[in-house]
């Protein structure tokens, strides 16, 4: 992971242009799967947005959005935007 201290805030729509090809090890919050599942429930039931901190090949990013679904390898945001779970650092409510 790059030594960038604060994530770059991006729009959900720009995630499609990011790449996740490099072999990058991400230090995840120990409860990241529980955070994702809770965020998905809140997003679907109450349309509550969360901040997702993740690492793209170009560095640390943050997006404020709702999570529609959590799979085994990816999360899905509105509009069919996907982020690989191994690249997610933390979900902030």
pLDDT digits 0-9 by tens, 55-65: 999 999 999 99
- Asked if 58 contacts 91 with a C-beta cutoff of 8 angstroms, the reply is no
Any domain includes 3: no
Q: Is residue 22 part of a domain?
A: yes
The total of structural domains in the chain comes to: 1
Q: Is residue 88 part of a domain?
A: yes
Confidence of residue 5 (pLDDT cuts 50, 70, 90): confident
CATH number of the domain that 82 lies in? Answer: 2.30.30
Residue 2 lies in a domain: no
Tell me whether residue 1 is in a domain. Answer: no
Q: 16: domain range?
A: 8-92
pTM, 2 dp: 0.92
Residue 79 domain-assigned (yes or no): yes
Give the pLDDT mean for 9-32.
Answer: 96
């Amino acid at each position: 992971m790059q030594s960038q201290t604060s994530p770059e805030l991006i729009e959900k729509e720009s995630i499609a242009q990011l790449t996740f090809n490099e072999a990058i090890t991400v230090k995840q919050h120990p409860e990241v799967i529980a955070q994702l599942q809770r965020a998905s429930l809140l997003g679907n039931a109450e349309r509550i947005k969360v901040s997702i901190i993740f690492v793209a090949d170009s560095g640390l990013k943050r997006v404020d959005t709702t999570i529609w679904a959590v799979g085994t390898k990816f999360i899905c945001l509105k509009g069919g935007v996907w982020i690989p779970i191994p690249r997610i650092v933390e979900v902030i409510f």
